[in-house]
């Protein structure tokens, strides 16, 4: 019982005082994992009212998009909404989701490869410390800051 109470207090305090403290890419976008072994990443940024996702290798260098594919969903888990994804040789573009919504991405390196799922909460509230939107917060999580 005591352990459960401590866990609950820890969880509540981390939600109340924590920052996202996400990894940012070379162009200032948020890094998402597109592989199981950290060899492929997606850098997601907002430009011209859309999400733009560049594919990066393990050294954070841009990779030409050819055979890769990406599907995107948002909305309620019981009734997800599929988003239209467009592709060019520099990456993928898709519509913005509403503030506070989750964006679920499924990336495939080749048509017959296993899909890797990446999730992003589009939290647009402003971080008081770094002044970025929380989904792009530069602050380290409190446990790493000490």
Q: What is the model's pLDDT at position 101?
A: 95
pLDDT at residue 22 in the model: 85
Residue that has been written with the tokens 């988003």 in this structure: 83
Q: How far apart are CA 35 and CA 33, in angstroms?
A: 6
Structure tokens belonging to residue 140: 């380290």
DSSP conformation class of 115? P
Domain 21-145 sits in CATH at: 2.60.40
Length of the chain: 146
List alpha helices for 1-141, DSSP H. 2-17
CA separation for the pair 68, 39 (Å, rounded) = 14
Rounded Cα–Cα distance for residues 89 and 86 (Å): 11
Mean pLDDT, consecutive 10-residue stretches, the chain (146 aa), reads 46 42 90 95 96 97 96 92 96 96 96 96 93 89 53
* Residue-range domain boundaries for the chain: 21-145
């Amino acid at each position: 019982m005591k352990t459960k109470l401590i866990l609950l207090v820890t969880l509540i305090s981390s939600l109340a005082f924590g920052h996202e403290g996400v990894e940012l890419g070379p162009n200032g976008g948020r890094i998402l994992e597109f592989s199981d072994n950290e060899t492929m990443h997606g850098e997601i940024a907002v430009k011209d009212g859309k999400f733009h996702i560049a594919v990066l290798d393990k050294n954070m260098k841009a990779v030409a998009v050819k055979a890769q594919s990406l599907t995107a969903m948002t909305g309620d888990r019981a009734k997800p909404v599929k988003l239209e994804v467009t592709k060019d040789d520099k990456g993928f573009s898709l519509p913005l989701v509403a503030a506070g919504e989750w964006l679920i991405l499924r990336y495939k390196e080749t048509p017959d490869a296993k899909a890797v799922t990446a999730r992003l909460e589009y939290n647009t509230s402003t971080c008081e410390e770094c002044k970025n939107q929380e989904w792009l917060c530069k602050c380290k999580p409190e446990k790493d800051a000490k």
